[in-house]
Structure 1
């Protein structure tokens, strides 16, 4: 079974657990979401699903995403006040850089940053329970 097929199964199970009926449109949306390795917003997910099964409404996309988020299988990100973007919850911890000119989201992980954050929290008498780092960036001129 491929990674996308496993994700589709996980997303489908989560919707069923939430009591949401799996229609053809929702099944197409789940396939699209399972294949997404970027951070699409709802209109982009609708566009991709519409290419597979015409007739999926944006409200269906939003309701489905909300149910999946409530089940803990996807994460909603609000980068700099832009429309919400979504990613799989099972991905390993990572941080994000958001290009303010293009909207591109780049995932990265840095052991140095993780250690520095833990050190700072410890110096102040805390331990990190959860964190999210977002860097808003612009390409340097060549």
Structure 2
């Protein structure tokens, strides 16, 4: 529970290492492996989403499990949540027009990399 509480107090899309550093002072015996296992369990339970950074090397975690997209700055590694119902509708129409016979998309999550101005 302490790991989930730490996630909710950290801004943005924290890494497991950031969560570990937040929890460790109050729980000095906790290991980074325990934090990773807990985060993976939360993802499996639908409490978190896993998000990659700009170069895809580090896992970050998102407490917002609603349908939304991510804008990822290549310079700062900042991840910005982005919601746009018109974009979602456009994607829905795009896939409907392609006639995928054996697949019906229910949600979309784009990971858009670039540089913040």
Give the TM interval when normalised to the shorter protein: 0.7 to 0.9
1:131 lines up with 2:105 in the alignment: no
Task: Classify the secondary structure of the residue corresponding to 1:51.
Answer: coil
Match runs of 1:34-113 below 5 Å: 34-79=8-53, 80-88=55-63, 91-113=65-87
Task: Classify the secondary structure of the residue corresponding to 1:46.
Answer: helix
Q: Do the aligned partners of 2:49 and 2:65 also contact (CA within 8 Å) in 1?
A: no
State how far apart, in whole Å, the 1-side matches of 2:96 and 2:108 are: 14
Q: Do the aligned partners of 2:6 and 2:22 also contact (CA within 8 Å) in 1?
A: yes
Partner of 1:24: none
Task: Classify the secondary structure of the residue corresponding to 1:118.
Answer: helix
Moved over 6 A (4+): none
Q: How many residues align?
A: 113
Structure 1 residue 56: Cα displacement: 2.0
Structure 1 residue 37: Cα displacement: 4.6
String of CA shifts for 1:61-114, please: whole Å, max 9, x gaps: 1111122222222221223322111122x6321100000110100001112211
| Bigger proportion of residues as helix | 1
Partner of 1:5: none
Q: Pick 1 or 2: higher relative contact order, CA cutoff 8 A, min separation 6.
A: 2
Q: CA 1:87/1:69 → structure 2, altered by over 3 Å: closer, same or farther?
A: same
Unmatched tracts of structure 1, length 5 or more = 1-26
1:116 to 68, 87, 90: 90
